[in-house]
Amino acid sequence: MYKIGEFSRINKISQRMLRYYDEKGLLIPKKDEMNGYRYYTNEDISKGNKIKLLRKYHFSIDEIKNVLEMDSTTLKESYEQKIAELYEKTIEYYQLIEEMKAYIEPKNKIKRA
């Protein structure tokens, strides 16, 4: 069992985020009723790593909550949907970048002889 500080160092998740994940029901530690300390297990380390990976993949907290409960078929579909969303965002960002470049790059001026 790991206290929150030790678990935070192991998983590289801030204590603030661990408390938030607890509040949202993503990563719920065992709690000591006497002192209120949070204790995490080895299983929680694996779950914490999965949450970090899903956050990296731009899954929302609610999406992560659902993903953690999915079977492998549904999980694959969820990943495919997220990939499609990320592709769409990539196109949007590319268009915005090109638009911004047009504002800052000098226009081709016609040279007079």
Averages of pLDDT over runs of 10 residues in the chain (113 residues) are: 94 95 94 90 95 96 94 92 96 94 75 61
The answer on 11 and 48 residing in a single domain is yes
pLDDT of residue 104: 87
Q: Is 38 part of a structural domain of the chain?
A: yes
Distance CA 39, CA 3 (A): 5
Judge whether 1 and 30 are in contact, CB under 8 Å. yes
The answer on 54 and 74 residing in a single domain is no
Could you tell me which residues are beta bridge partners of residue 72?
Answer: none
pLDDT of residue 55: 96
The answer on 47 and 12 residing in a single domain is yes
The answer on 54 and 78 residing in a single domain is no
Could you tell me which residues are beta bridge partners of residue 38?
Answer: 31
Residue 10 is part of which domain span?
1-58
pLDDT of residue 108: 60
Judge whether 40 and 4 are in contact, CB under 8 Å. yes
pLDDT of residue 72: 87
pLDDT of residue 65: 94
The answer on 54 and 1 residing in a single domain is yes
Query: 18 vs 63, 74, 99, CA distance in Å?
Result: 17, 26, 40
The answer on 13 and 54 residing in a single domain is yes
The answer on 43 and 16 residing in a single domain is yes
The answer on 38 and 2 residing in a single domain is yes
Look at the chain and report how many structural domains it folds into: 2
pLDDT of residue 36: 84
The tokens for 83 are 């990939």
pLDDT of residue 33: 87
The answer on 84 and 44 residing in a single domain is no
Distance CA 93, CA 17 (A): 28
The answer on 86 and 44 residing in a single domain is no
